[in-house]
Amino acid sequence: MSIFDFLSGQFIDVLHWTDDSRDTMVWRFERHGHEIKYGAKLTVREGQAAVFVHEGQLADVFTPGLYMLETNNMPIMTTLQHWDHGFRSPFKSEVYFVATRRFTDLKWGTKNPIMLRDPEFGPIRLRAFGTYTIKVSDPALFLREIVGTDGDFTSDEVTFQIRNIIVQEVSRALAASGIPALDMAANTKDLGALVANAIEGAVAQYGLSIPELYIENISLPAAVEKALDARTSRGIAGDLDEHLKWKAAESMAQPGSAAGQAMGMGMGAGLGMQMGNMTMQSGPWGPRPTAAPAAAAPPPPPPPPVEHVWHIARDGQTSGPYSKARLGRMVTEGGLDRDSLVWTQGQDGWMRAEETELAQLFTVSPPPPPPMG
């Protein structure tokens, strides 16, 4: 890390900071006695700010640029030192360089499950995790409230506190949202924006801002996920039965297969039984065989109707599966309309809801209200 250069004499002529650590937020410019030559050059790069501290008091803050350290561009320092315009001597001051760029890919997550009341499942526990970015918005305030006199302050020293604030607001937002657990995946963007707005005031007190906050996943307990998988399997049981029947018929159609041989044996046995049921009847030229009347077998019962489950695509994300009854409630609540893209098992790609059998959900109207009185 290159920090300062010696250009002339025993004092510093150039003050600058080149950071290659990627996690340092504040670095103190080190110099024995903190002596800085009057008229020295200060270089503040993009994504940085320089804060001068004189005798324990915050003085001037410099944004990106090249500066000559003189009385005309150090108004606060000049006031604290009672300098006149003829001042030319070295002065003592601490200089802190503050990184004002974004610190990205910071992780957050709930340590313990969040308890809430789900509209469909009742009391339920959820976990959530994601990423966020932080940025120093007020270098002087950040130095005063968080850094203090730390000469090498990294992002790890502040992210623990920020994570606690995020988890607290995520817990509150999820519990108060009223969004069913199965629909939260489609609302993570809105929930993330809600949490970011809620914590903005808290982190602003530290001189920080949260430019981005993402909720990457909201998960259910393992037992609940297992129950949902079983429920989904039951929903497609009708289609599974049809698949098994088709596979059985396909196997019987192959002559060399064991199933085909069994089918041939069954057909031979059936013909033998029919011949055995034939009786001899007398006629002009002797007895002639006639088939004994066979008892009519009752027709098999019709297969139960197959109930489809549906998925919904919105804003590049999918949610579901939903039963048809659930979709009917979503139409009433405004969560599904004619142009919503839906898909179900056996359907060739995504289609608009009104182009499927769900179109009837939008044509059903309630009966007229009862008369007054």
Cα separation values, 257 from 109, 135, 246, Å: 56, 70, 16
3-state secondary structure of 1: coil
Q: Hey, is 12 helix, strand or coil?
A: strand
The whole-angstrom separation of Cα 141 and Cα 58 is: 9
Contact of 95 with 52, CB cutoff 8 Å: yes
Q: Sign of dihedral through CA atoms 181, 187, 192, 193?
A: negative
Residue 170: closest CA among 209, 140, 203, 197: 197
Q: What is the C-alpha to C-alpha distance for residues 286 and 95, in angstroms, rounded to an integer?
A: 128
pTM beyond 0.85: the answer is no
- Those residues whose C-beta lies under 8 Å from the C-beta of residue 185, and which sit 6 or more positions away, are 218, 317, 319
Q: Which two tokens stand for residue 103?
A: 């610190």
The tokens of 141 are what? 């305030």
Quick one: pLDDT at residue 210? Answer: 92
Cβ of 52: how many Cβ atoms within 10 Å?
A: 25
Q: What is the pLDDT along the chain (373 residues), one digit of tens a residue?
A: 444 444 344 455 788 898 888 889 999 887 665 677 777 888 999 999 999 888 778 888 999 999 888 766 676 666 666 555 555 656 777 889 999 999 998 999 988 888 888 887 788 888 899 999 999 999 999 998 888 878 888 888 888 889 999 998 888 888 888 888 888 888 888 888 888 888 898 899 999 999 999 998 888 878 777 877 777 776 665 555 665 676 677 676 665 655 555 555 555 555 455 555 544 454 555 555 555 555 667 777 776 666 778 888 888 788 888 888 888 888 888 888 888 888 888 788 888 888 888 888 887 555 556 777 5
Type of residue at 372: M
pLDDT for residue 141: 92
Cα–Cα distance between 168 and 170 in angstroms, integer? Answer: 6
What distance in Å separates the CA atoms of residue 269 and residue 128, rounded to the nearest whole number?
Answer: 64
Neighbours of 243 (CB within 10 A): 11
Rounded Cα distance between 321 and 329, Å, is: 14
d(CA 273, CA 291): 11
- For residue 128, which of 238, 64, 215, 240 has the smallest C-alpha distance? 215
Query: Measured between alpha carbons, how far is 312 from 187 in angstroms, rounded to an integer?
Result: 13
DSSP letters along 72-137, please? GG-HHHHHHHT--TT--S-EE-EEEEEE-SEEEEEEEE-SSPEEEEETTTEEEEEEEEEEEEEEES
Give the C-alpha separation, 201 to 190, whole Å.
Answer: 19
pLDDT of residue 5: 44
Which tokens belong to 287?
A: 């007895």
DSSP letter, residue 26: E
Cα 14 to chain centroid distance, Å, stands at 47
Nearest-10 Cα torsion for 325, 329, 331, 333: -170
- Determine how β-strand 102-109 pairs with β-strand 122-136: antiparallel
3-state class of 317 per DSSP?
A: strand
Report helix angle 188-204 to 156-177, nearest 10: 130
